[in-house]
Amino acid sequence: MASSSSDEEFRQWIPFRQRPEWSDVKPLPQDDGPSPVVPIAYKDSFVETMDYFRALYHGDERSFRALSLTSEAIQLNPGNYTVWHFRRLILEALEVDLQNELDFTEAVARGNSKNYQLWHHRRWIAEKLGTIATSKELEFTRKILSLDAKHYHAWSHRQWVLQTLGGWDDELSYCDELLEEDIFNNSAWNQRYFVITNSPLHGGLKAMRTSEVSYTVKAVIAYPENESSWRYLRGLYKDDNHSWVNDAQVSSACLKVLSAKNNYVFALSTLLDLICHGFQPNQEFRDIVDALGTPDSDRQGSDLAKSICSVLERVDPIRANYWRWRRSKLSQAV
| Catalytic positions, written as ranges | 114
| Amino acid of residue 53 | F
Phi then psi for residue 114, to 5 deg, are -100, 75
Residue 241 lies near other proteins (rule: CB under 8 A): no
Cα–Cα distance for residue pair 210/204, rounded to 1 Å: 12
Which CB sits closer to other proteins, 122 or 306?
122
> To the nearest whole angstrom, how small is the minimum distance from the Cβ of residue 307 to other proteins?
20
Residue 186 lies near other proteins (rule: CB under 8 A): yes
Cα–Cα distance for residue pair 229/216, rounded to 1 Å: 6
Which of the ranges 4-12, 17-25, 183-191, 256-264 carries the binding residues for other proteins, by CB under 8 A?
183-191
Q: Show the binding pattern over residues 197-226: x = contacts other proteins (CB under 8 A), - = does not.
A: xx----------------------------
Residue 54 lies near other proteins (rule: CB under 8 A): yes
Residue 50 lies near other proteins (rule: CB under 8 A): yes
Picking from 43, 128, 107, 56, the residue whose alpha carbon sits closest to that of residue 86 is: 56
Which CB sits closer to other proteins, 215 or 259?
215
How far from 38 is each of 32, 256, 268, CA to CA, in Å? 10, 58, 51
Cβ atoms within 10 Å, residue 103: 12
DSSP 224-288: TT-HHHHHHHHHTTTT-HHHHHH-HHHHHHHHHHHHHTSS-HHHHHHHHHHHHTT----HHHHHH
Residue 75 lies near other proteins (rule: CB under 8 A): no
Which CB sits closer to other proteins, 32 or 284?
32
Cβ atoms within 10 Å, residue 211: 11
Binding site for other proteins (CB under 8 A): 30-43, 46, 50, 54, 76-77, 79-82, 85, 88, 116, 120, 123-124, 150, 152, 155-156, 159-160, 163, 184-187, 190-191, 193-194, 197-198, 227-228, 231-232, 234-235, 238, 317-322, 325
